[in-house]
Structure 1
Amino acid sequence: MRVGVLTGGGDCPGLNAVLRAVVRKGERFHGDEIIGFLDAWDGVRERRTMPLNVDFMRGTLPRGGTVLGTRRGSPFDHPDGVGQVHETFADLGLDALIVIGGNGSLSVAHRLATEESLPIVGVPKTIDNDIVGTDMTFGFHTAVEIATEAIDRLHTTAESHDRVMVVEVMGRHSGWIAAYAGIAGGASVVLIPEIPFDIDKVCAHLNRRHDKGRYASIVVVAEGAEPIPGTLDVDEKVYDKFGHVRLGGIADVIAREVGERTGFETRVVLLGHVQRGGTPTAFDRVLSTRFGVAAIDLVHEGGWGQMVVLRGTDIVPAPMEQAVGRTKPLDMRLYHDVAEVFFA
């Protein structure tokens, strides 16, 4: 078979490991020819490709980012975008396309598979771990590891100067990274998008710690966290051309308020895109490899309109429809039953 593959949306540790696994299983076991599309759906529309084979993918397992390049966007955003996708399938003689991406990329893949009857399978990808249908996405563990290491380092400088360190991590709609990194890093407070926060309670908690002689504190906040409406002035939301709200900066607001209300010296650390970059952890390399192998096998099973997901310890197929227009919130049991035990 001639199988195309693309990586869409934001970059993520483990993308190259997925590609490597697709190529290895496809070429060596199924006898497939794998064609990589550059820059996500733009590469499909514009027919910009590169051949992917076992020799080319050697050494890419620990490499971050994606050798194919990636960006946001959809063929449905262009006047003849869907027609161009059909032409690419026909002209290149594609038998299938594997789409590795997050909610946006999988939503596009689902529409093309169902509305246009194109042979497409998906692989869920996001460091936020918020895709419905899979227990875990690759890249998440790497992001948590990076955030945890940063928090570990911040403890020592915070203790040396009796400071409150406000650490902003990624998490647009869900608090998976914030909760995991906060628990692993021994944070004093964790603020997540799922639960609007009360700045008065945050300050009261920090004051109680100070009264007990704990002068240094770490506050971990997800970029999508918001205050209880009417309790704190924040900037008006700004959206990009894809309809995504531009996030970042909530840590600055929190640090300012904590400093003014408590008198404690505060500092802000924005981890930002450092969480996306660099080499994936061993866990993410294994999960990515399992996803890639399962994806090319699903192609040969004709599982169009499905994605490969992690359920428990098994990789199984699931309808891509599950991921469309939805995000998976943090498991509140982890937050209330575990995290909050250490924030009291």
Structure 2
Amino acid sequence: MVLSKGGSIGRFKLSSDRKMGDLKNIRKSEVKVTVTHRSKGMGSAPATVVSEPKVVTGDDGYVLEDVPHLTDYIPHLPTYPNPLQDNPAYAVVTQYFVDMDDTIAQKIVVHADSPRGTHFRRAGPRQKVYFKSDDVHACIVTCGGLCPGLNTVIREIVGSLHDMYGVTRIEGIEGGYRGFYSRNTIPLTPKAVNGIHKRGGTIIGTSRGGYDNKKIVNSIEDRGINQVYIIGGDGTQKGASAIYEEVRRRGLNVAVVGIPKTIDNDIPVIDQSFGFDTAVEEAQRAINAAHVEAESNENCIGLVKLMGRNSGFIAMYATLASRDVDCCLIPESSFYLEGPGGLFEYIEKRIKENGHIVIVVAEGAGQDLVAESLRTNDAKDASGNKLLNDVGLWLSQKIKDHFKTQTEMEINLKYIDPTYMIRAVPSNASDNVYCTLLAQSAVHGAMAGYTGFTVGPVHGRECYLPFYRITEKQNKVVITDRMWARMLSSTNQPSFISTKDIIESVTDEAPPTQLLDDQVADNGLVIKETIVC
């Protein structure tokens, strides 16, 4: 069977003269993937020709979106017994090694007649590895903004390589992607990283930009590095994907592994990104301070700006956890200031009822209103991200101007921006445990010969995911979902959206529940035509 690609990343069609129902009779061994596409690259990086995704189909609508393996382009690689077989710490674990056929379903809420749907390869140690411990030369790099848990991931990668697999040559790439070709490396040993999980930031430094695919892979090749662990957000993971493609093009025996990092929780598919729990917990301090100020002063407005460029998860979850917030504004839900049902009317109403109001606004909320008001252009940072206007300062001034000119009510407004305080703290207990699982899963995957993948939990189980699944779109709050409804119930704020907006949102966001004749899988995988074997 031949799969040929059409449309955007993650969308495939089967070209053939066989009917779609015949998929049930196709065995995994019959599948040959020949899909290619072009990546737009990262920042200033050139477009890259991308190797074919590995999509395997089985009985009853089973689809496995597999990850690349070194043997895909370097045949006949030798294998070795996993050193964990002789590790007394793991001798007590029954069936510690993961079965090669174990996969995790992306969708777990199904109907009786639903197809099995999309699956991902389960993470964990394999009985055979593709690297000798003495031959491994690993490096770790952190890119983009800070996030609680970065040091924990670094520590646990080093610990997993050293304690589980006996690897001794591990280096940190200093200062992000540009450190590959412009900085010295930092030796990383268990002793050097022992207590870093108690500190915020990253001990090897980070930066935005500096991505040069050719220079980076030249450095990897020149230094003799054969395992690369790249920690960063969606832009960083796009760069990691391009690095893997160049490594593959050169035929290098190098495993390229991504660990997704975003404090905004905007990575799709996976349950949650590391550092998010800590961010929500720390955001409570700012909200509590705003609530104290608001309660203690007459006609007081406590305004808190939280992180969330395109996704309002931190603001939403912090609001739900606090129960002291009267209004939460996020990028996914438009709002307006003036007129019936507008924000100003609601603020005045709450102040008259309670004597105060607490507002939480995500940094990406209302950017269309801010841009229109300030007449700003679309400037970008070194990573290619659009520079946002400060919605917190803009909104606080707009509120002051409204109550000064349009009402007789005198107000106090206390504005709190804890952005850098939140992202610079060490990770909390739950994030530390989560970072440990991510790091160990990444190391197990690299040692087992997998490459060109990222790691993360899907329904509580660690998985190996192809890069395109986490870079093709962002995870966003669904404003027609129960969680958003719970938040609206908590704050009693107006939704600021019309019935028409709700209908359009449902049409855009509601996933298909089953495959029909013109089959659409739950992940957006489109299978339109038939098969040629």
What is the TM-score with the length of structure 2 in the denominator? 0.60
Which residue is 1:44 aligned to?
Answer: 180
**Following the alignment from structure 1 to structure 2, what is the Cα–Cα distance between the partners of residues 269 and 294?**
38
Equivalent of residue 274 in structure 1, options 399, 416, 421: 421
Change (3 A) 1:170 1:291: same
- Residue in structure 2 matching 1:288, options 416, 428, 435: 435
Highest CA radius of gyration, 1 or 2? 2
Compared CA separation, residues 68 and 231, structure 1 to 2 (3 A): closer
Contact 1:199/1:232 (<8 A) preserved:
no
Larger displacement relative to structure 2 (186-195 or 110-119): 110-119
Q: What does residue range 154-233 of structure 1 map to in structure 2 within 5 Å?
A: 154-162=290-298, 163-185=300-322, 186-200=324-338, 201-212=342-353, 214-226=354-366, 233=373
Structure 2 alignment gaps of length 5 or more: 1-135, 249-253, 404-408, 493-533
- Residues 95-106 of structure 1 aligned to structure 2 (within 5 Å): 95-106=226-237
Q: Return the alpha-carbon distance in structure 1 between the equivalents of residues 376 and 402 of structure 2.
A: 23
Deviation at 1:131, TM superposition (A): 1.1
Question: What is aligned with 2:400?
Answer: 259
Deviations 1:164-200 (A, max 9, x none): 0111111111101111112222211000011121113
Tell me how far apart the structure 2 counterparts of residues 189 and 52 of structure 1 sit (CA, whole Å): 46
Whole-Å separation in 1 of the counterparts to 2:473 and 2:375:
25
Q: Deviations over 1:59-105 (max 9, x none)?
A: 112211011000012433xxxxx332233222221111010111111
Give me the identity figure in percent.
29
Work out whether 1:304 is the aligned partner of 2:451: yes
Distance 1:4 1:232, change over 3 A: closer
Name the SS for the 2:266 alignment partner: coil
- The CA distance in 2 between the partners of 1:83 and 1:190, in whole Å, is 44
3-state SS of the aligned residue for 1:284?
helix
CA shift in 2, pair 1:229/1:292, >3 Å: same
Q: Is the helix fraction higher in 1 or 2? A: 1
Using the TM superposition, give the Cα deviation of residue 323 of structure 1 relative to its aligned residue in structure 2, in angstroms. 2.1
Aligned length: 338
d(CA) in 1 for partners of 2:396, 2:470: 35
Q: CA deviation at 1:227?
A: 6.1
- The equivalent of 2:141 in structure 1 is 6
Counterpart among 319, 338, 344 of residue 486 in structure 2: 338
Establish whether residue 65 from structure 1 lines up as the match of residue 201 from structure 2: yes
Query: 1:335: how far off?
Result: 4.9
CA distance in 2, matches of 1:240, 1:46: 20
Q: Structure 1 residues 48 and 158 mapped into 2: Cα distance closer, same or farther (>3 Å)? A: same
1:95-150 Cα distance to aligned partner (Å, 9 max, x none): 11010111111110011112441531100011111012321111111111111111
- Compare 168-177 and 233-242 and name the one that shifted more: 233-242
- SS of residue matched to 1:123: strand
2:151 alignment partner, one of 11, 16, 19: 16
* Residues 227/28 of structure 1: CA separation in 2 closer, same or farther (3 Å cut): closer
Q: Counterpart amino acid of 2:310?
A: H
Contact 2:227 2:446 in 1 (8 A): yes
The answer on whether the counterparts of 2:235 and 2:383 sit within 8 Å (CA) in structure 1 is no
- Please give the secondary structure, in 2, of the residue aligned with 1:3: strand
Aligned residue identity for 1:157: E
Residue aligned with 2:177, SS? helix
CA 1:124/1:227 → structure 2, altered by over 3 Å: closer, same or farther? closer
Structure-1-length-normalised TM-score = 0.92
- 1:38 is displaced (CA, Å) by 0.6
RMSD of aligned C-alpha atoms?
Answer: 2.0
When structure 1 is superposed on structure 2, of 110-119 and 274-283 the one drifting more is 110-119
Q: Displacement of 1:229 after TM fit?
A: 5.5
Match of 1:114 among 245, 252, 259: 245
Change (3 A) 1:124 1:221: same
Query: 1:334, CA displacement in angstroms?
Result: 4.9
Deviation of 1:228 after TM superposition, in Å, equals 6.4
**Structure 1 residue 325, shift from structure 2 partner:** 4.7
- Looking at structure 1, the residues matched to 370 and 224 of structure 2 have their Cα atoms a distance apart, in angstroms, of 57
Post-superposition offset of 1:225: 0.6
Q: Give me the whole-angstrom Cα distance separating, in 1, the residues matched to 2:210 and 2:448.
A: 26
Unaligned runs of 5+ in 1: 77-81
Conserved 8 A contact 2:146-2:202: yes
CA contact (8 A) 1:4 1:94 kept: yes
User: Do the aligned partners of 2:306 and 2:419 also contact (CA within 8 Å) in 1?
Assistant: yes
